[in-house]
Amino acid sequence: MTKFLLLLWLVSPAALRAANDATPLIFTLGDKEVLRVAASDMAKRPNARTIEIFDPAFKKPKKYRAVPVKDLLTAAFGGAWSENALGELFFDALDGYRSHAKVSVLMQSGGMIAFEDLDAAGWEAIPNKGMTPAPYYLVWTGPEQKPKSGYPWPWAVVGVKMAILEDEYPNALPKGAGPDSAPARGWAVFKRSCISCHSMSGHGGTVGPDLNAPRGITRYQRRSFLKKFIKQASAFRHTKMPDFGELEPKELSDLMAYFDHMSDLHGTK
């Protein structure tokens, strides 16, 4: 409820300009806060600049004021952050979306934290999403750095956390599954495409429902339905769940094996 009210407040036009300054971007390492930066601080950084990109969320060119995400990560975690080969950066968004990407992706050039939309006073609403990318929006300037190519573009970001995925989401790990078993392959798909929105027994994003608590999804939904739904949720409902038409039948079966394994593991019925 509080989150909902906060969202309402953020999208009201009067609050839009104030929102950025009132809401800092908070960086944490493990459970420790290491830095907070407001939009006004970002604007003063020497590398702040105007960028023009083709924005996949708006499906048109957009102009932002932005700072390189690498600069902020260095300010937060020190110069050696990029040597943490096992590390992942988690981006916490206002709507419960929680994307993650490896340090090796974030250390590439092109990632920018946008803190001001230069096309609209305040921020322009994202088509069909009912929200704007404020207060902070991770965008990429390289033409090949698209969401589908593994570059995260989370909007409405308020927190950035550095952690190791296995430490962050122990409840989602398919413990006891062999390295190339179907549940382990299903976990790889889930980690890549689903965990930003869905939790498993409490660990993951919260845009969609938890798929293992209190009951395992394959314990109460038919596999044939689940496979069709996951491939094309939009054919069933108007929903925030995206279509995953590119998933192969084998990947869908692997996902089912992962769900079964997880509900066995957590003793859900």
Residues that bind ligand HEC (CB under 6 A): 193-194, 196-198, 207-209, 211, 217, 221, 226, 229-230, 233, 237, 239-242, 244, 255
Rounded CA-CA distance 20/135 in Å is 5
Separation of first and last alpha carbons in the chain: 29
Closer by beta carbon to ligand HEC, 30 or else 202:
202
Closer by beta carbon to ligand HEC, 94 or else 194:
194
Closer by beta carbon to ligand HEC, 105 or else 207:
207
Distance in Å, CB of 162 to ligand HEC, minimum:
22
Among positive and negative, which fits the CA dihedral 154, 156, 160, 161? negative
Rounded CA-CA distance 151/71 in Å is 18
Distance in Å, CB of 16 to ligand HEC, minimum:
24
Closer by beta carbon to ligand HEC, 108 or else 221:
221
Q: Which two tokens stand for residue 241?
A: 């769940």
Distance in Å, CB of 86 to ligand HEC, minimum:
23
Residue 233: Cβ within 10 Å count: 17
Q: Which two tokens stand for residue 209?
A: 């429902």
Closest-CA residue to 165 (of 105, 227, 89): 89
Distance in Å, CB of 241 to ligand HEC, minimum:
3
